[in-house]
Amino acid sequence: MNQAINVYHAQEDAFGAEAVYANTLTRQEAQKKSMEILHSDFVGDLIDQYDFIHDADMDFEVKTNDKRYKRSQANDAGAVFVDGSRSIYVVIHEIAHALTINNDADDSGHGPEFAFCFLQLVKHFLGRNAGIDLSMAFMSNDVNDKPKGSNANSKPQRTKEDDELDQMMADIDDGSYLSNDYE
Ligand SMILES: [Zn+2]
């Protein structure tokens, strides 16, 4: 299995090729953005929650204009952005590699573990609509974002707020919510 091409097509469909392949960020901005994301509470929670998502190096280093590479790439020590791909989309894509490298089921590194992580990062850092766009583009491009044998596909744990809301709805149904309030 090699999902790389499908992932590239999906991100172009979701965000537009012109936006993905643009030098929107300087090297310094790409470095700063990478650190913000890697050291965010959100990524800390992902690492705690999913066995296939791990921490990147504290001194994760962003490089640009390295002529040895044709495509941007990353491992947990750093990322290289080739000219024409210094956009927030490619930064998030490479961070998803840094967080899942060696834990991905696909020989290209673009398997379900990577795709799941990429989608979580997009949803959180680019917003719900961007997340929906990418999720739909994954579907139409046959990108599998459901890691096998991991806890990524289990339902989220119910919170106390969920229980309280259910109780309130039940009370409204049988009228006890209103009568309690007005007694
Ligand atoms: Zn990639």
From the CA of 88, how far away is ligand 1's center (Å)? Answer: 14
Q: What is the pTM of this model?
A: 0.82
CB 62 within 8 A of CB 34: yes
Residue 80: strand pairing partners: 63, 73
From the CA of 73, how far away is ligand 1's center (Å)? Answer: 6
Structure tokens at 2: 């090699």
Residue 94 has pLDDT above 70, yes or no: yes
Question: Tokens 């310094």 sit at which residue?
Answer: 28
Q: What are phi and psi of 74, to 5 degrees?
A: -155, 155
Type and span of the H or E element at 38: helix 27-38
From the CA of 173, how far away is ligand 1's center (Å)? Answer: 51
From the CA of 161, how far away is ligand 1's center (Å)? Answer: 38
Burial 40-57 (b: 16+ CB within 10 A, else e): eeebeebeeebebbeebe
Residue 138 has pLDDT above 80, yes or no: yes
* C-alpha dihedral (123, 124, 130, 135), degrees to nearest 10: -10
Provide the pLDDT for residue 183. 47
From the CA of 68, how far away is ligand 1's center (Å)? Answer: 16
Average pLDDT value for residue range 18-23: 96
From the CA of 45, how far away is ligand 1's center (Å)? Answer: 23
From the CA of 93, how far away is ligand 1's center (Å)? Answer: 6
From the CA of 109, how far away is ligand 1's center (Å)? Answer: 7
